[in-house]
Structure 1
C-alpha cells in the first residue's frame, strides 16, 4: 500500500482548532507542540476527512488507498520517524500509534509499512 502525508496538525489546547503544519518533529510522546493524549499520534485516511461536519482531530492525515485499520500491529515509517500502530481509534476514524524512533515528518512524505 502506497501512502503519502496529505496533512499535519497539532492540537495544543483541548477543544481549540488545530494548527496545520508543513513539517513536524515527532518526539517520543507525539508531535512537538501537540498536547499529550492517551496515544502519541492519531493517523487517519484522507477519505475519512472528506465531507464531514466534524472531521477527526488527527495529527497525520495519509492519502492511502485503503482503510488504516489493516496497519494495527504494524510498524510504519513516515519521513524519518518510525511508528507502531497500536489500535483502532475508539469513537472516530483512524488509528493510534506509538513512537518507536523520533524523527521529522513533512507533507508529501511517503509512509511505508515495514
Structure 2
C-alpha cells in the first residue's frame, strides 16, 4: 500500500513539474489528429498551423494556472542540475597524465634467505 501511494505521489509531482513538456510531447505524438480535428485554423491550410494553435492554447492555460497558484510559479520550483555534465564545467576539466609504474617481474627475488626463520630462545 505504501508503494502504491509513493508511486502515485511521484507521478503527481512529476506531472506537475513537467506539465509543459508533457503538453509538447502530447502534441508531437498526436499531431495529425490535432491538426485534423482540434486545430482552430484547420479550414485555412495555407497557414500551415498543423495544430500548433491548439498546443499554444494549452500552454497558455498552463501558464495561467502557474500564475494563479503561487506554489506552481517557476521561481518556487527547484530544479536539480548536474554540474558534472554542464558544458561550461566540462571545458574546464584538466587532462590527467598517465604515470608509468615499473612492471612486476616474476621469479625475481632480492635478498633471498635460505635458512628458515627461528625465533630467539630464552
TM-score, normalised to structure 1's length?
Answer: 0.17
Is the helix fraction higher in 1 or 2?
Answer: 2
TM-score, normalised to structure 2's length?
Answer: 0.16
Is the strand fraction higher in 1 or 2?
Answer: 1
Larger Rg: 2
